[in-house]
Structure 1
Amino acid sequence: MTHPTSLPQAAQAFRRFFGELRETYLERETLFTQIELALLCREHVLVVGPPGTAKSAIASAVLGRIVDEKTGGPSLFAKQIAESTVQTDLIGPVDFKVLTETGRTEYITDDGMLGAVHAFLDEVFDGRDMLLRSILNVLHERELKHGRRVTSGRIECAIMTSNRYLSEVLARSPELLLAFADRLSFIAFVPKSFARRASRAAMLHRFMHGARPDLRVSLTLQQLDLLQEAVEKVKVSSQVLEGVELLADGLERSLSAQVAKLPDYVPTKYFSQRSVVKALWALKAAVVRDQIYQHPDRQLEATIEDLEALRWFFLLGGPSSADAEALLKVAVDPRERAQLEIVRLEQRTFDETLAKVRNELVSGVEREATALAAGEDLSAAEALARSFQPGLASITAQRLLVKLVPGPRHQDNRSPLLGAARGLVTAVEQRLARGMTSQQGDPAAAGGVNAPEGRGGLQLLTSFKDALELCRSVPELRSQFNPLCESSARLLEQMLEMIALSAEGVEFEDGLKIEGLVALADNLEEEISQVSALSGLLAEGAPAAMERLRVADMAVRRRVVSSLRRRAAAAFQAPRPAGKRDPFETLSTDSRRLTQLEKSLQVLDPSQPGLKQELLQPLGLAYAKQVLSTTPFERIEQYARAAQMVAENLRQEGLSPDAVIAACRDIIEQRLVEHARMLSREVASPPPAPNAVVNGDAYTFYRNSFSVRAPDGELAALLGLDNQLSFAQPQTAASFLSDGVRQAVAQAELVFAHTRIKYLRSWLTQLLTVLLPELEAPKGKAEAERTFERLVRSRFPLLALKEGELVRLRGVLGTLGAMQGELGESAKKLSLQLRGIDEDFGRFSKRVLEMRTTL
């Protein structure tokens, strides 16, 4: 075999191939037409009809004789479907080597229908529904998905046959028939009988003489490839595309109306977006088929007349209207009659719908012209020529882009739109030529259409962008795209300079607040971004200018951010009026304002961070000094909580507290030393009166005078505060607080401890003086109980045991005893005195308790 060198040779082979088939299989013209279209556009065919109508013979005769020039044989997968057929029978067996070695399930698809160019599936509706759905998915997608693996196939065209009527399939599974109607491009019905006597006579004559089909003409895959490539080249105008849409919509409405009249009727075609796309390929195949059979010199471009061929796509293929009438007269089987009625009904509906579509397409020029309203765009372009308005220019450019891309269906309606587009582009070019003019001298500059444009304005940038997009997208305007890019680049450079100057001018505006700076930064960033977006369109038309704009963009962003930072610093350094606001509220407010500003500035130029830290540090220090120098406290732990709150608030506002707290060290130490001096005031410690020793007054005096006026644990609280503030201690120091502060607090607490211990010793001594004689010469149990009650009434046991005063004092003295020098030694001596009190009281209380139990 030799490969044809031209498309005409392939067309001749195709024509001879199917001509021989038509001579052999009589009254099957529609079926062969559908198969021809399916082969040309690489789609599939379903053939239904009663047994004995040569469906399988025709499928085999077609697909079995399309051979590969390289092998001399067909690339055909053939399978008769039965209820026992499984998926591997169709897609290929499992690769057991892969399964045993890796545990993964893979299929040898080369042995299935995906491995062949053509497939013949006989009695397709005898399979299970799930199998049939999987067949449809594989045929439609031309690939097998299993897990993460996707295997593409060679399959182009499959012919499926069934001895069932469509009504039987519908009764069995309506969803299955719907799936077939949506995924298959062609469905054909082959009637039981011949419509013409001559055909029946010819068949009997062949039978009498034992003649068998003698098919000698073959068609090669390579020849078919050439014809399929021609199908891909077929052009379809917008008007014909409109015809396809109108035909699909009209048929769907008309056939749906027939369903209301005939409840048993179901349209053969399911009208979806998928079916409309397939219809387009069927139309292109019909153009190539017409070139093969009727008009070899025609151009590969679809016309309105070619819409006639879509009847074989949208309808159930079958005998012609005349043949259907003849067959209905002799048909006995109700299923056969019903199928013929469907063929006749759909053919009549198609003819009526196609006639309406042709009429609509003829009047479509005027109808489309009215819808496009090109006059409005022409008027807008003329208005822009007189006085440029950015908003109007943008709206008009966007509107024209929608109308011109892909464009009107009728070419006559394109000219006025192009005239409006050219007028708009001319107006934009004139505006670009004026540069950055503020139009200050225009008498209408008080707010009319010629009002000053300032730095350029977002609307102005948008109008340029829309005009560039229009020129880039519309072929007729393409010649103006590059010059428009160059003009736009020059104006954009001026705009960027104006943006930078406007930011630098802010440094001379004393009244501008931080909120104003945030709004200005956001506005400038939006303008610069608009310029950048517009400059991106220049890459194609003016690449050198785009690079200049990129460099200018970066420089302008740096200039803008630097100017706004300087203005913000000046605003925060200016003296502020004293107010009654909470200091943290003031800091928090400033922090939020600076956070907003810093975010806006970082969007402009991420390379210049740190504005908030820079400006908020002095404010944070002022806040910390105010809180730490004015917060009242009676205990060091209260002051420690205030210091902790300051540090946490600073962190919350994004400030590092280290430097702030370090700068407040003198204030903190001054407050602590002052606190220690206040604590060191002398607390009167007179010995308790004799009656007060026993009746509880001594306890009351101790609690009111010492526990309130001379609190303990201050040194421990000071050490805790020192540890808490260690993050801010100087690098050369061992701790944050100085030794002098610790000495002052320790000295004050030592005085407290000495005063308390002195009072406790005096109290206990007098108590023992009163009660001890009673223990020396007890007179009986009643006397022992009296002594016990007097001891309890004194409340010394309550203070020492239940309230743990002696333990608390021991802890205070332990902390003080760790101090170096004379202060530590004094604390140790006091610890010995405290131990003496503890031991004396222990011995005495033990004797009292023993006496109560022994007497």
Structure 2
Amino acid sequence: MSGAGYDGGVIHPPANAQPQAAQAFRHFFQELREVYLERETLFTQIELALLCREHVLVVGPPGTAKSAIASAVLGRILDEKTGQPSLFAKQIAESTVQTDLIGPVDFKVLTETGRTEFLTEDGMLGATHAFLDEVFDGRDMLLRSVLNVLHERELKHGRRVTSGRIECAIMTSNRYLSEVLARSPELLLAFADRLSFISFVPKSFARSASRAAMLQRSAHGLRPDLRAQLSLQQLDVLQAAVERVVVSSVLLEAIELLTDELERALTAQVSKLPDYVPTKYFSQRSVVKALWALKAAVVRDQLYRHPERPLEATVEDLDALRWFFLLGGPPAEESEALLKVAVDPRERAQLEIVRIEQEAFDAALAKVRAELGSGPEREAATLGAAEELKKVEALTRGFQPGLVTTSAQQLRVKLVPGPRHADNRELLLGAARGLLASVEQRLARGPIEGTESRLGLPMFTALVEVTRLSGLVPELGSLRPTLIDATSRFLVQSLELMALNAESLSFDEAVSADGLLGAAHGLAEELAQVEELLALMAESHVALASHLRREEAGARQRAVTALRQRVASVFPGTRSRRDPLDALSADSRRLAQIEQALCRLDPSQRGLKQQLLQPLGFDYARSVLGTVPFERIDQLSRTVLSVAENLRREGLTPEPVFVECREVLETRVRDYVRNVSRELASVPPAPQAAISGEAYHFYRGDFSQQARDGEFSALLGLEGQLAFARAPSATFFLSEAVREAVARVDLAFVQTRLKFLRSWLTQLLTALPAPQTAQNRASADHIFDRLVRSRFPMLTLKEGELVRLKGVLGVLMAVPGEPGESARKLEGVLRGINEDFTNFSKQLLERRASL
């Protein structure tokens, strides 16, 4: 940059750059005003938009030179380097798509990586200025995306964000705002929130001289002759001036007051005119934009009216915010003239909006100007400095950590960034200084005072807030070192007391699990506040904070060790609950809570629950496996499954528990075998019972209750349930002696059954005539009916009792040694019973069929 100076990395424009840029700017727009008559408001809004890098929407009926003005402005702001405008122009239509505006898809990236990226240099982000004609002809979704891009000046696609150069866009439309509102109220709201300037260009001229001048030019074939020069670089100089404009706290308050008052005034108009919709959407975004519009107005005023004025906003500059907050249009006197001749109801409605909003703005501005003089008193009432002083005075009469916390928080909110008026700030600073002094006095007396309990969590919370306050308020910086020193001495004593309190639990026999849980939670909360306090202290006293962190780590470790030891002595305790599972579940939940609390203090404490719950799991398993009654071994198997699942659900590994309970299980099985073996009895059926069916009912009733065969198969099922606890080299979990005892009693059961069945069949065959003796069909049917009435065929054929017993013996035959040999012998007896019955029944059926 020729003639530019360089100082500390900042490039300064030449001394004559600002006057040259100002003159070029004035000539550029004065020439435009001479060509395009009665467009003063529109040019004012465009000037402000260019200066503060914002956007303009221009609406009005066709034939009002909207597009011509946009092109004449943006198309003639040239880049000194290229001699060309940096302009993206596009006529919007319903068929317009996003790539038409932001740039085409980069097909090279798409084909090579599969990612969708855009060549934004070819779209509106790649230019300094943009002209979008007939903007409301596009689809709503497209327009919303365009608005977001224009507002944020960047494009988000995937994880990539592309920044753009776009500064100012002028959008035009031949539609009235009422038409846009009827079509899409949300779309108009989006425009009102993101655009700083909206202007309405009426159909007619208010002054007859303007129409005469237009006709005169047309009659002589005169075309606009625009020769004034304005460059992007000159505009940059003026935009830099806008950034340097100073806006006092009083003016910032005025912007807020004006925004609130104008919003109330325009909302009141809505209740009077149902069809009226305010042009501006009042949001936090609009307040910030209003600030920059005010800064631009100061520079514009310097350019046109007061070249010697400093770049500092005044109350008089607030009037220029009408072009930001309101729908731009003809001045009041011209609006009245146009309303008299306007025929189109849309035109009249738009002019009426201009008039209503101008009147509301004038009233709101007058009210704000009147209120600005009472700003200090009004702010003082809002801040409540006197109440803050009363709170601090109360601390001198009786120290309350909770009051310190709330006072520090409220003072921080009120002092950062702080009041607009110095007197009000000084009052708050007096309260803050008094607060720090009260805290220091209490810290000097240590954590314990007289018979009071140790100052714990509430005091640490208060110290966090006071330390944060002293670090954020510059005026308190000189008091911070004294506060930090007093806090460090207090912390050393408090940390020692924390450790001692935890260690004292070892001497408190009355402490319960709930008490330990509460102690762990309380300690964790206190130390969390201490950590936050040390982080704040480290911002200005690094070495001291490091020393205190070592103190904190030592106290933490002592406390955790003491708590863990006391927890181990409390668990296991005496059980008052009747149900063992309820007891185990309660202990599991409580240990999980205590472990979680201790892990907040020290993550290495993970596993405490498993360690202390294991013995409790042993007690639970012994209690259940040793006491739950069962009548068959498969019932014991279900109990084993239930115990294992309950242990897993409580977070315990069942393998070591069942290994520990092996003897309990074996004892239960031995006792069971011993008891059921006493019940064995074989009473042969009487001859009449054998033939009448009573033998069947006895066999299926009381006899089956005594002869519980199949227990060895049930024992194998139990072994399957216990496979998880079996040693890697072992085939079975239970001892061989137990298996042999069950096998023997099972053999005894089967033997008893076979003895009864043999006796029953023998008496049945003795009582029935031989099939060969039947001389006719009637006698054969009589033998057949007596055989069926005995129920022996139903037992063996339909119910498959002999097949079932064969299966039981098949399992027992696999047992090595004498039990297996005995099973094979019984299998021979079973086979004999089956053959005798089969032969008899076969002969009877054949004889019956032959007669």
TM norm structure 2: 0.87
Deviates more, 1:298-307 or 1:159-168: 159-168
Question: Of residues 734, 740, 743 in structure 2, which corresponds to 1:743?
Answer: 740
User: What is the distance in 2 between the residues matched to 1:90 and 1:705?
Assistant: 94
Cα distance, 1:715–1:89 mapped onto 2, change above 3 Å: closer
User: What is the distance in 1 between the residues matched to 2:25 and 2:365?
Assistant: 28
Question: Of residues 719, 726, 737 in structure 2, which corresponds to 1:722?
Answer: 719
Does 1:281 find its partner at 2:274? no
Question: Of residues 833, 845, 850 in structure 1, which corresponds to 2:846?
Answer: 850
Q: Is the 8 A contact 2:392 2:431 kept in 1?
A: yes
Cα distance, 1:759–1:548 mapped onto 2, change above 3 Å: same
- SS in structure 2 at match of 1:607: helix
Question: Of residues 601, 604, 610 in structure 2, which corresponds to 1:604?
Answer: 601
- SS in structure 2 at match of 1:17: helix
User: What is the distance in 2 between the residues matched to 1:338 and 1:686?
Assistant: 114
Amino acid at match of 1:533: E
Q: Is the 8 A contact 2:595 2:605 kept in 1?
A: no
Q: Is the 8 A contact 2:405 2:461 kept in 1?
A: yes
Q: CA deviation at 1:365?
A: 1.4
Q: Which residue of 2 aligns with 1:792?
A: 788
User: What is the distance in 2 between the residues matched to 1:346 and 1:777?
Assistant: 127
Q: Is the 8 A contact 1:650 1:656 kept in 2?
A: yes
Does 1:648 find its partner at 2:645? yes
Deviates more, 1:338-347 or 1:621-630: 338-347
Q: Which residue of 1 aligns with 2:27?
A: 20
User: What is the distance in 1 between the residues matched to 2:363 and 2:525?
Assistant: 58
Amino acid at match of 1:565: R
Corresponding residue pairs, total: 839
Q: CA deviation at 1:206?
A: 9.0
Deviates more, 1:82-91 or 1:418-427: 82-91
User: What is the distance in 2 between the residues matched to 1:750 and 1:635?
Assistant: 16
Q: CA deviation at 1:51?
A: 7.5
Deviates more, 1:811-820 or 1:711-720: 811-820
Q: Which residue of 1 aligns with 2:235?
A: 224
1:477-531 Cα distance to aligned partner (Å, 9 max, x none): 2343455345434433432332221111101000111122112222222212222
User: What is the distance in 1 between the residues matched to 2:739 and 2:531?
Assistant: 63
Deviates more, 1:253-262 or 1:319-328: 319-328
Amino acid at match of 1:282: A
Q: Is the 8 A contact 1:7 1:227 kept in 2?
A: no
User: What is the distance in 1 between the residues matched to 2:103 and 2:235?
Assistant: 26
User: What is the distance in 1 between the residues matched to 2:833 and 2:341?
Assistant: 134
User: What is the distance in 1 between the residues matched to 2:701 and 2:273?
Assistant: 107
Does 1:410 find its partner at 2:425? no
Alignment map for 1:635-714 (pairs within 5 Å): 635-681=632-678, 683-685=680-682, 687-699=684-696, 702-703=699-700, 706-714=703-711
Q: Which residue of 2 aligns with 1:501?
A: 500
Q: Is the 8 A contact 2:28 2:229 kept in 1?
A: no
Q: CA deviation at 1:69?
A: 2.3
Q: Which residue of 2 aligns with 1:449?
A: none
Does 1:377 find its partner at 2:379? no
Q: CA deviation at 1:135?
A: 5.4
Cα distance, 1:16–1:715 mapped onto 2, change above 3 Å: same
Q: Which residue of 2 aligns with 1:448?
A: none
Alignment map for 1:178-193 (pairs within 5 Å): 180-188=191-199, 192-193=204-205
Cα distance, 1:795–1:416 mapped onto 2, change above 3 Å: same
Question: Of residues 744, 760, 771 in structure 2, which corresponds to 1:775?
Answer: 771
Q: CA deviation at 1:839?
A: 0.9
Q: Is the 8 A contact 1:55 1:161 kept in 2?
A: yes
User: What is the distance in 2 between the residues matched to 1:779 and 1:334?
Assistant: 123
Q: Is the 8 A contact 1:47 1:187 kept in 2?
A: yes
Cα distance, 1:485–1:837 mapped onto 2, change above 3 Å: same
Q: Is the 8 A contact 1:122 1:160 kept in 2?
A: yes
Q: Is the 8 A contact 2:28 2:228 kept in 1?
A: no
Cα distance, 1:632–1:254 mapped onto 2, change above 3 Å: closer
- SS in structure 2 at match of 1:708: helix
Q: CA deviation at 1:377?
A: 1.1
Q: CA deviation at 1:203?
A: 8.7
Cα distance, 1:759–1:550 mapped onto 2, change above 3 Å: same
Deviates more, 1:777-786 or 1:355-364: 777-786
Question: Of residues 798, 804, 808 in structure 2, which corresponds to 1:808?
Answer: 804
Q: Which residue of 1 aligns with 2:456?
A: 457
Question: Of residues 367, 370, 377 in structure 1, which corresponds to 2:378?
Answer: 367
User: What is the distance in 1 between the residues matched to 2:185 and 2:46?
Assistant: 25
Amino acid at match of 2:566: R
Does 1:311 find its partner at 2:322? yes
User: What is the distance in 2 between the residues matched to 1:635 and 1:778?
Assistant: 47
Q: Which residue of 2 aligns with 1:526?
A: 525
User: What is the distance in 2 between the residues matched to 1:806 and 1:336?
Assistant: 106
User: What is the distance in 1 between the residues matched to 2:343 and 2:619?
Assistant: 106
Q: CA deviation at 1:96?
A: 7.2
Q: CA deviation at 1:390?
A: 0.8
User: What is the distance in 1 between the residues matched to 2:373 and 2:490?
Assistant: 48
Cα distance, 1:277–1:833 mapped onto 2, change above 3 Å: same
User: What is the distance in 2 between the residues matched to 1:394 and 1:687?
Assistant: 93
Deviates more, 1:402-411 or 1:213-222: 213-222
Alignment map for 1:147-158 (pairs within 5 Å): 151-158=162-169
- SS in structure 2 at match of 1:77: strand
Q: Is the 8 A contact 2:265 2:360 kept in 1?
A: yes
Q: CA deviation at 1:430?
A: 2.5
RMSD: 3.9
Alignment map for 1:128-527 (pairs within 5 Å): 136-143=147-154, 151-160=162-171, 180-188=191-199, 192-193=204-205, 195=207, 217-258=228-269, 267-295=278-306, 298-318=309-329, 320-321=331-332, 343=354, 345-436=356-447, 438-440=448-450, 452-454=452-454, 456-527=455-526
Q: CA deviation at 1:728?
A: 2.3
Q: Is the 8 A contact 2:192 2:279 kept in 1?
A: yes
Question: Of residues 829, 834, 841 in structure 1, which corresponds to 2:837?
Answer: 841
User: What is the distance in 2 between the residues matched to 1:698 and 1:74?
Assistant: 116
User: What is the distance in 2 between the residues matched to 1:543 and 1:320?
Assistant: 64
Q: Which residue of 2 aligns with 1:119?
A: 130
Q: Is the 8 A contact 2:747 2:812 kept in 1?
A: yes
Q: CA deviation at 1:318?
A: 4.7
- SS in structure 1 at match of 2:538: helix
- SS in structure 2 at match of 1:651: helix
Cα distance, 1:217–1:691 mapped onto 2, change above 3 Å: closer
Structure 2: runs of 5 or more not aligned: 5-11
Deviates more, 1:844-853 or 1:299-308: 299-308
User: What is the distance in 1 between the residues matched to 2:650 and 2:804?
Assistant: 40
Q: Which residue of 1 aligns with 2:541?
A: 542
1:418-471 Cα distance to aligned partner (Å, 9 max, x none): 1111111122223333332x111xxxx5xxxxxx241x3221111111112212
Cα distance, 1:32–1:627 mapped onto 2, change above 3 Å: closer
- SS in structure 1 at match of 2:399: coil
Q: CA deviation at 1:843?
A: 0.7
User: What is the distance in 2 between the residues matched to 1:83 and 1:669?
Assistant: 86
Cα distance, 1:90–1:547 mapped onto 2, change above 3 Å: same
Q: Is the 8 A contact 1:11 1:292 kept in 2?
A: no
Q: CA deviation at 1:358?
A: 0.7
Report sequence identity in percent: 64
User: What is the distance in 1 between the residues matched to 2:310 and 2:211?
Assistant: 40
Q: CA deviation at 1:567?
A: 1.5
Cα distance, 1:367–1:792 mapped onto 2, change above 3 Å: same
Q: CA deviation at 1:42?
A: 0.6
User: What is the distance in 2 between the residues matched to 1:546 and 1:417?
Assistant: 29
Q: CA deviation at 1:545?
A: 3.6
1:220-253 Cα distance to aligned partner (Å, 9 max, x none): 3223223223323334333222211221222233
Q: Is the 8 A contact 1:385 1:423 kept in 2?
A: no
User: What is the distance in 2 between the residues matched to 1:686 and 1:322?
Assistant: 128
Q: CA deviation at 1:694?
A: 3.3
Q: Is the 8 A contact 1:485 1:541 kept in 2?
A: no
1:694-729 Cα distance to aligned partner (Å, 9 max, x none): 344544555566422222112222222233223223
Q: Is the 8 A contact 2:103 2:123 kept in 1?
A: yes
